[in-house]
Chain A
Amino acid sequence: GENVEQHPSTLSVQEGDSAVIKCTYSDSASNYFPWYKQELGKGPQLIIDIRSNVGEKKDQRIAVTLNKTAKHFSLHITETQPEDSAVYFCAASIGGTYKYIFGTGTRLKVLA
């Protein structure tokens, strides 16, 4: 079945450094790739997304890149701040549907 792998599972960076989280998906029909930030005890919050017809998207300190050929997509956070500390999940749509398969999550800790 469809699968999304996410690495690393934990990531510690110094404040101001960059953080990169990578995901690989298996469904070649996936066309939508959102990234969510989840703080403890809360629901996921969309931070950025990308569609299959775009290779890169940026929103201030956050960027996402997509390599359809390799079925890879990555989240890049620059100039990290302590408030960026959270669990980040990638997801891939199942085909062109609203249903998602989520990655396993990355616990990001930004050290002040």
Chain B
Amino acid sequence: GAVVSQHPSWVICKSGTSVKIECRSLDFQATTMFWYRQFPKQSLMLMATSNEGSKATYEQGVEKDKFLINHASLTLSTLTVTSAHPEDSSFYICSAPGGGLAGAGVYNEQFFGPGTRLTVL
């Protein structure tokens, strides 16, 4: 089946530094990927839609200058948390929809990565 990977699985950084998280579709191509944030014991909140070859679209209330998204290829999207602060500590999850070029999955289905735990000290 379609697999989405994330790297790193966890990261600890100091306040003020930037952190990059990678999301890869391993066996299918994804022109679109989604980034979610999940705080402890809460639901997944969509942050932004990453589009290959064009700018990402951000959900209301998400600072685009703080959460930089780059969709460099059909299998890779990166999320950079700039000038991270303790309140940015969260579980970041990416997903990629099925269908599309490689025919992975079915229309509407999203395949989720394993998540990245970010802790900002």
Contacts and interface: CB of A to CB of B under 8 A. Distances in A.
Interface residues of B, number: 23
A74 interface: no
Given A43-B113, A44-B93, A98 B108 contact: yes
B93 A89 contact: no
A96 B94 CA distance: 20
Interface in B32-55: 32, 34, 41-46, 49
Nearest to B94: A43
A101 B110 CA distance: 12
A34 B109 CA distance: 8
Contacts of A54: none
A interface, how many residues as a size bin? 20 to 34
A43 B115 contact: yes
Interface of A: 31-32, 34, 36, 41-46, 49, 51, 89, 93, 96, 98-105
